[in-house]
Amino acid sequence: MAKEVILPRQGNTVESCVILEWKKNEGNKVKKGEVL
């Protein structure tokens, strides 16, 4: 099931970000505050 991930604000002029590396695999359980 897809979930929205909210990224920290990067600045007033940044409109998009690219995620370079995931620390969790698809299907892993994730708790609030964990690194993805």
How do residues 9-30 score in pLDDT, each as one tens digit? 888 898 888 889 999 998 899 8
Q: Give the integer Cα–Cα distance in Å for 11 and 27.
A: 31
State residue 15's pLDDT score.
Answer: 86
pLDDT score at 25: 93
SS3 of 1-36: CCCCCCCCCCCCCCCCCCCCCCCCCCCCCCCCCCCC
Angle 30-31-33 from CA coordinates, rounded to 5°: 115
Structural domain for 16, as ranges:
1-36
State the pLDDT at residue 17.
85
> Total domain count for the chain?
1
Instruction: Report the pLDDT value the prediction gives residue 9, as an integer from 0 to 100.
Output: 84
Specify whether the CB–CB gap between 30 and 36 falls below 8 A. yes
| pTM (whole model) above 0.75 | no
Q: Which residue has the higher pLDDT, 31 or 6?
A: 31
